[in-house]
Chain A
Amino acid sequence: MAAKNHRQWTAEPNLQMNEWVDSRIYSDPQIFEEELQKIFKKTWIPVCHESELPKPYDFRTTSIAREPIVVCRGPDNEVRAFLNVCPHRGMIIERRPSGSFLEGQPSGNPKRMTCMFHAWQYDMKGNCVYISREKEGFQDRLCKEDVGLRRLRCEVKFGGFVWVNLDDNPKVSLEDWAAPAFQCLRKSLDAEPLEVFHYHKAVVNANYKLWHDTNCEFYHDFMHYHNRVTGFNDAYFARKNEAFDHGHVVVGTFQVNYEKYEGFESRAALSFPHLPPNQWYMIDLFPGMNFNLRGSALRCDIVTPLGPDKVMIEYRGLGLKRDTPEERMTRINHHNSIWGPFGRNLHEDLIGVQGQGTTMLPGSEPRRILHGRHENQTIHDENGMRHYYEEWGRWMNRRPSKPDQPFSEAIAVAAE
């Protein structure tokens, strides 16, 4: 069929209901607000890596679904998370992106989180330890013991990542939620401490799910010139996308022939523990996190949705904490040559989703976005996305292809 008129262009494709989605799920402000409430405030989100707060009193600040969060390491070495909000007048407590509470601040004491507004202070367990002129203002009506920071569920798991859940009573534990998907790499990630050696972020004018879609399929290797000309081979096409409960997908490994990449070298010498040389696993977690291990370097993407058409993606690169300086330099080189801002393909991935975002601004006419490739669940199959959107439909109680209709388990099952 040739070009389409408006009626043809907006008609439903001749595919199963779960093989396309309505583009409004990438652009509608109301759907976006619902995603923050129904998904991001209810699920486990990795906010950083424990190596980014290595010493007692180290902290990082972040946010989930617009809620400001401070993560800190206590004198007992435990990592805890709190809302970064003073219970007095709602002031943000810590404004720096990271640092140490041992460093003196004009308004702050060592070893305490201090709200600069009225000098209320909190310890690393979130207890309020000081209210300025407490008795004078509150007499005995309110005291330190009556206030405190809002503590959040926080666990260090799966290779030392710090996971936070805004929901005190999540539907599943972090272990049950992600352990099956991490199974393929867990031994390697937990064998010894890891360390973040690379951090950069991108703010892209696109919906966060578009980024996750790109991480869930390798069909877009046609965009990556270098992957296309040197990466395609039988072993590559045999890689499987495996679906796990809770919307996660794992792209199975194969041995990468880095020697065939122009200007690359084998990564065998620095492969992560317990792995054959030059393996490449990828774990895509609902609702938008990615763990990508290419032999010697681990990459982690964490998305923070900023609006229906805006997402911040934080990229971290990790190696083994015990790396010698030489090993670390090699590992950084391995990481950056693929995934650095000027690496082999990361910037191309960003061009891809930015281009999609350009056509799906809020208010754009709804269109169908096709997720209908079936290739025996191998690398160019789009089963990973279909699996993701089934889970998305469940959390949102919206049908991804017809978001005004409630999600139906029966339709999802029948379609697959």
Chain B
Amino acid sequence: MSWTKICDASDVSANSVKKVDVNGISVLVVNYGSGFRVIPPLCPHMEEPLEESGIVARCTLTCSKHLWCWNMQTLEMQGETEKPLKVYESKEENGAILANIENELTYEFEDEGGADDDDFFK
């Protein structure tokens, strides 16, 4: 267990997100008003960069592309969301956001399937 400083709490205003590089690993800091979360930067649905698509309101992070959303306090999936959000262990200490980022958290995305052989056009 090692706590790494991600940024100052004051760097991320309420109801917004900020992408930070920590020793080569990109993470997203989410300020949901009553607390912070540190998560991987991509939406688990279709790799959308949440830095662009993420909307934070009423304690909920919503990816605006396909409206997958999670309660930031309980991490409960909401609406049509089909995959849970992964989170880094984090805490706020003396005005700084710290997280435990020993291993990068990633999602499995579906490979592109489909026939690609010579018979395709026959």
Binding site for B on A (CB under 8 A): 74-76, 78, 104, 109-112, 119, 121, 123-127, 129-130, 132, 148, 151, 153, 168-169
How many Å from the CB of A323 to the closest CB on chain B?
33
Query: B66 and A130: CB pair below 8 A?
Result: yes
Min CB gap A154→B, angstroms: 10
Q: Quick one: given A104-B52, A153-B121, A168-B121, are A123 and B47 in contact (CB under 8 Å)? A: no
Contact A104 B49 (CB under 8 A): yes
B114 on the A face (CB < 8 A): yes
Contacts known (A104-B52, A168-B121); A109 close to B65, Cβ less than 8 A: yes
Determine the chain A residues whose CB is within 8 A of the CB of B116 once the complex forms: 78, 125
Q: Whole-angstrom distance from the CB of A144 to the nearest CB of chain B?
A: 11
Which A residues are CB-close (under 8 A) to B47? 109-111
* B92 on interface, CB distance cutoff 8 Å: no
B66-119 contacts to A, CB under 8 A, are: 66, 110, 112-114, 116
B79 CB to closest chain A CB, in angstroms?
11
A111-B47, A130-B66 known; A75-B112 Cβ under 8 A: yes
Contact sample, A vs B, 7 pairs, CB 8 Å cutoff: A75-B112, A110-B47, A123-B112, A126-B114, A127-B112, A132-B66, A148-B114
A124 touching B66 by the CB < 8 A rule? no
Q: Top 10 closest A-B pairs, CB basis?
A: A168-B121, A123-B112, A125-B114, A127-B114, A125-B112, A109-B46, A109-B48, A104-B52, A110-B47, A153-B121
Q: Please, which residue of chain A has its CB at the minimum distance from the CB of B43? A: A109
* Interchain CB contact under 8 A, B46 and A127: no
- Nearest residue (CB) in B for A134 is B80
Chain B residues positioned under 8 Å from A109 (CB to CB)? 46-48, 65
Q: Chain A contacts of B113 at CB under 8 A?
A: 125, 127
Nearest CB of B to A414, in Å: 38
Q: A110: which of B48, B66, B112, B122 is its contact (CB, 8 Å)?
A: B48
- Interface residues of chain B, those whose CB is within 8 Å of chain A, are 46-49, 52, 65-66, 110, 112-114, 116, 120-122
Give A323 to B7 CA distance when docked, in angstroms.
45
Q: Are A169 and B112 in contact (CB under 8 A)?
A: no
B49 in contact with A112 (CB, 8 Å): no
Chain A positions within 8 Å of B114 at CB level: 125-127, 148
Contacts of A111 in B (CB 8 A): 46-47
Q: Which residues of B have CB within 8 Å of A78? A: 116
Distance, CA A160 to CA B88, complexed state (A): 46
- Contact (Cβ within 8 A) B121 A129: no
Q: Residue of B at shortest CB range from A111?
A: B47
Residue pair A124, B112 in contact (C-beta under 8 Å): yes
Closest to A153 in B: B121
User: In the bound complex, what is the Cα–Cα distance between A168 and B66 (angstroms)?
Assistant: 35
Assembled-state Cα–Cα distance A4/B91 (Å): 96
- CB closest chain-A residue, reference B121: A168
Taking the nearest CB of chain A, how far is it from the CB of B55, in angstroms?
A: 14
Closest to A169 in B: B121
| B46: A residues at CB distance < 8 A | 109, 111-112, 121, 129-130
Q: For the complex, what is the distance from the CA of A124 to the CA of B116, rounded to whole Å? A: 11
Return the chain A residue nearest B116 by Cβ: A125
- Chain B residues with CB under 8 A of A169: 121-122
Question: With a CB–CB cut-off of 8 A, which chain B residues contact A76?
Answer: 112
Most buried by A among B46, B52, B66, B120: B46
Query: Which chain B residues border A153 with CB–CB below 8 Å?
Result: 121
Complex Cα spacing A132 to B80, Å: 11
Complex: A132 Cα to B121 Cα, angstroms = 29
Q: How far, in Å, is B80 (CB) from chain A's closest CB?
A: 8
Q: Given A127-B113, A132-B66 in contact, is the A110-B120 Cβ separation under 8 Å?
A: no
Q: Which residue of A lies closest to B52 (CB)?
A: A104
Report the Cα distance A121→B47, complex, angstroms: 13
How many angstroms between the C-alpha atoms of A78 and B122 in the bound complex? 20
Smallest CB gap from B51: residue in A: A104
